[in-house]
């Protein structure tokens, strides 16, 4: 793997493997995990691969996804980072980007789908910029472009995650809600958030 100091954000060597999967193997794994092989989860596979390949060997890392759509599933499928174990944070900036970073020093790699590089790929551009509805998209041509483009449509750079973002949040003490009689974090107030806001169910 490339040490972070040697990263070149303009160069990602073309790669047909996605962290040990062939392209077709990854597509099948994505279908099982995500429900279908969306362009986002497939491109996300190349993004995760690029990030992992550019981290130092042997580190424990956390992940940030900057979108809720598709990309978190690529991270969860290919890394130990999940929403459930707290190693994956979703911070919705609206950008199709992710970062993997060292748990100890918050240094890592941010990978993003590069709008300039996407210009060369008609169907990917139409999908990415929402120039066509899902029904209007040529799914076969889009899938072919995603496979051919691989990681050539990505860029990345070295980052250090802000300490307040990387910080592990603890639940704190747990108490019983006086209204619903279910346990919840005491820091949320005198009743659980669901009862305070009358949310979720009728």
Do both 84 and 175 map to the same domain? no
Report the CATH number that the domain containing residue 112 is assigned in CATH. Answer: 3.30.1330.130
Q: Identify which of 37, 29, 20, 46 has the alpha carbon closest to the alpha carbon of residue 118.
A: 46
Report the pLDDT averaged over residues 16-35.
92
Positive or negative, the Cα torsion across 118, 82, 79, 168?
positive
Q: What pLDDT is stored for residue 12 in this prediction?
A: 46
Residues 6+ positions from 193 with CB-CB distance below 8 Å: 184, 199
User: 178: exposed, middle or buried (C-beta count within 10 Å: 0-12, 13-18, 19+)?
Assistant: exposed
Model pTM score: 0.85
Do both 100 and 144 map to the same domain? yes
Token look-up 């499928």 returns: 77
- CA-based angle 135:147:142, to the nearest 5? 15
Q: In terms of residue numbers, what domain contains 176?
A: 170-202
Do both 39 and 93 map to the same domain? yes
Q: pLDDT tens, 97-119?
A: 999 999 999 999 999 999 999 99
In whole angstroms, give the CA distance from residue 57 to residue 45.
19
């Amino acid at each position: 793997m490339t040490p972070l100091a040697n990263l070149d954000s303009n160069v990602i060597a073309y790669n047909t493997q996605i962290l040990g999967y062939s392209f077709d193997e990854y597509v099948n794994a994505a279908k099982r995990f995500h429900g279908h092989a969306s362009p986002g989860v497939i491109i996300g596979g190349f993004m995760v691969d690029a990030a992992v390949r550019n981290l130092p060997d042997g580190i424990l890392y956390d992940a940030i996804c900057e979108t809720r759509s598709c990309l978190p599933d690529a991270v969860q499928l290919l890394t130990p980072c999940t929403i459930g174990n707290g190693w994956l944070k979703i911070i919705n900036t609206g950008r199709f980007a992710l970062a993997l970073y060292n748990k100890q020093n918050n240094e890592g790699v941010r990978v993003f789908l590069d709008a300039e590089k996407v210009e060369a790929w008609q169907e990917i551009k139409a999908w990415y910029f929402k120039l066509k509805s899902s029904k209007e998209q040529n799914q076969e041509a889009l899938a072919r472009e995603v496979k051919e483009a691989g990681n050539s449509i990505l860029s990345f750079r070295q980052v250090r995650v802000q300490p307040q973002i990387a910080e592990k949040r603890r639940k704190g003490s747990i108490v019983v809600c006086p209204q619903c009689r279910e346990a919840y974090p005491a820091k949320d107030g005198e009743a659980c958030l669901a009862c305070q806001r009358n949310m979720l169910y009728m």
